[in-house]
Amino acid sequence: MTNEFDNSQNEKSLKPNQFKTPQIAIHWATLALVAIVIAIGFGSDLIEARATKHLAMDIHRLLGLIIGLLVLARLAMRLGNRSPDLETPLPLRLAGAASQGAMYLLLVGMPIIGLMQTSAARAHPTLFGVIPLPVLTAHDRDLADSLGEWHERGAWVLIAVIGLHAAAALWHHYGRKDDVLTRMAPWIKTRRA
Ligand code: HEM
């Protein structure tokens, strides 16, 4: 069975229980991409020039799809991995699992709803006018509008879940003084006594 946490004593550069480099890279890259995608999604209303708005939304779609793929890669890496041995009490582990489950669901669901919305809004959906996108629904304006509303609600729920997740990580670090944050951010100094 593989282990996504690196407990190897030979790897002097890694702290005990630290995530491996690909997991750390995917985690922080996903956060950066989600911030950009949400900023473009909400900010696109402020762009007046049609061509610029289309370009911004194509970047939004492309980065949104990359997020979906990164999250699937992260899930694949987790498959078969044993759980962390950080001596965290069961209720805290359950709360962590619930918020991570919600985040995975949203990060896979949002790109799918976005793709469906694009399918419903356009007869021949493409990225940048050249890369064809999969057609997931009939071309239907009403459907596009209601999928757009779900996409927007999903974004607000995602923002709330990310906020909770970040607050919990900070509480683990400054309140509980355990390694939950530092094993995903190894450049931060541990506060464990
Ligand atoms: C994690 C991934 C994604 C997040 C967090 C996200 C977030 C958002 C947000 C916050 C908005 C603005 C909502 C509003 O103001 O109504 C939006 C709009 C939109 N998104 Fe996404 N999105 C993601 C992925 C995608 C993907 C993959 C596609 C398509 C391939 C897509 C297509 C759209 C479209 C068509 C709009 C509506 C633009 C408009 O009608 O003004 N999104 N998205």
- Does residue 14's CB lie within 6 angstroms of at least one atom of ligand 1? no
- DSSP letter for 171, please: I
Question: Measuring from atom 11 of ligand 1, which residue has the nearest CA?
Answer: 41
Q: Does 10 have pLDDT greater than 80?
A: no
CA of 166 to the centre of ligand 1 (A): 22
pLDDT tens-digit map of 141-165: 999 999 999 999 999 999 999 999 9
Q: What is the pLDDT of residue 56?
A: 98
Cα atoms found within 13 Å of the Cα of residue 45, Cβ hemisphere only: 4
Give yes or no for residue 125 CB within 6 A of ligand 1: no
- Of ligand 1's listed atoms, the one at least distance from the Cα of 118 is 35
Q: Which residue owns the Cα nearest ligand 1 atom 34? A: 114
CB burial string 88-100: b at 16+ within 10 A, e below: beeebeeebeeee
Ligand 1 site, residue 111, Cβ cutoff 6 A: yes
| Residue 114 CA, ligand 1 centroid: distance in Å | 5
Please provide the average confidence, as pLDDT, over all residues in the chain.
89
Retrieve residue 3's tokens: 């282990």
**Residue spans per domain, the chain:** 17-82+90-176
End-to-end CA gap in the chain: 31
**Is the CATH code 1.20.950.20 the one for domain 17-82+90-176?**
yes
pLDDT tens digits, 43-101: 999 999 999 999 999 999 999 999 999 999 999 888 766 545 667 788 988 998 899 99
CA 29, CA 39: separation in Å to the nearest integer? 15
The confidence score (pLDDT) of residue 12 equals: 47
Give the pLDDT band (50/70/90) at residue 128. very high
